[in-house]
């Protein structure tokens, strides 16, 4: 079941080919997709594309995002510097599902040098169709927002 309609996708040079395939797949599935770059397999700086994608979510142009680099780690670090972004680097289904259920993650980060395209596609589909559970998890996500806003207190 689709939960989101507007998905942003971005990558660096290590994942350009995988991004192109994923964009086509998501469009075939009926998602409104924003391509945040990069535009070739030439070496580039991943924070640029993480920033583009996160800004798209922050301004409401996209609901969620998929970032792909060599490991997913650099993209997740860059994405998590943006207010309101909860990005998780995942390479297997359990983490991809729980980051939506428990953390209400709005950005999935994947590693093109860690997993193959079929896994990228399946983790993306799982991420896009898993609902946030709310309840005690909403309290925890709220606490994370408080940390981000400098208003957290134990």
The model's pLDDT over 22-58, given as tens digits with 9 standing for 90+, comes to: 999 999 999 999 999 999 999 999 999 999 999 999 9
137 tagged catalytic: no
Residue 8 β-bridge partners: 34, 65
Q: Read off the pLDDT of each residue in 138-149 and give the average, rounded to a whole number.
A: 97
Give the pLDDT confidence of 44-95 residue by residue, as tens digits.
999 999 999 999 999 999 999 999 999 999 999 999 999 999 999 999 999 9
pLDDT for 1? 83
Contact 110, 84 (CB under 8 A): no
pLDDT for 150? 96
pLDDT for 77? 98
* Sequence-separated (6 or more) residues with CB below 8 Å from residue 80: 86, 87
Q: Compute the half-sphere exposure of residue 75: CA atoms within 13 Å on the CB side of its CA.
A: 35
69 tagged catalytic: yes
Choose between 1 and 138: higher pLDDT. Answer: 138
| CA 76 – CA 73 distance, rounded (Å) | 5
In order, the DSSP letters of 9-21 are EEE-GGGHHHHHH
- Of 146, 70, 115, which is closest to residue 154 (Cα–Cα)? 146
Residue 65 β-bridge partners: 8, 107
CATH of segment(s) 6-149? 3.40.1400.10
Give the pLDDT confidence of 125-143 residue by residue, as tens digits.
999 999 999 999 999 999 9
- The one catalytic residue in 11, 38, 54, 69 is 69
Q: Scanning the structure block, which residue is given the tokens 């009926």?
A: 30
Please tell me whether the overall predicted TM-score, pTM, comes out greater than 0.95 for this model. Answer: yes
Residue ranges of alpha helices (H) inside the chain are 16-28, 46-58, 73-79, 93-101, 117-129, 136-149
Domain residue limits, the chain: 6-149
Per DSSP, the three-state class of 71 is: coil
Say whether pLDDT at 121 is over 90. Answer: yes
């Amino acid at each position: 079941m689709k939960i989101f309609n507007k998905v942003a996708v971005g990558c660096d040079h290590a994942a350009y080919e995988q991004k192109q395939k994923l964009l086509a797949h998501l469009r075939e599935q009926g998602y409104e997709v924003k391509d945040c770059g990069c535009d070739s397999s030439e070496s580039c700086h991943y924070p640029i594309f993480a920033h583009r994608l996160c800004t798209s979510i922050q301004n409401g142009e996209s609901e969620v995002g998929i970032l792909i680099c060599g490991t997913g780690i650099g993209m997740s670090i860059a994405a998590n510097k943006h207010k309101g972004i909860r990005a998780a680097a995942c390479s297997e289904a359990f983490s991809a599902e729980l980051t939506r259920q428990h953390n209400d993650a709005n950005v999935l980060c994947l590693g093109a040098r860690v997993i193959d395209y079929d896994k990228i596609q399946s983790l993306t589909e799982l991420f896009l169709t898993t609902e946030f559970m709310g309840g005690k998890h909403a309290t925890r996500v709220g606490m994370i927002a408080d940390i981000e806003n400098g208003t957290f207190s134990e």
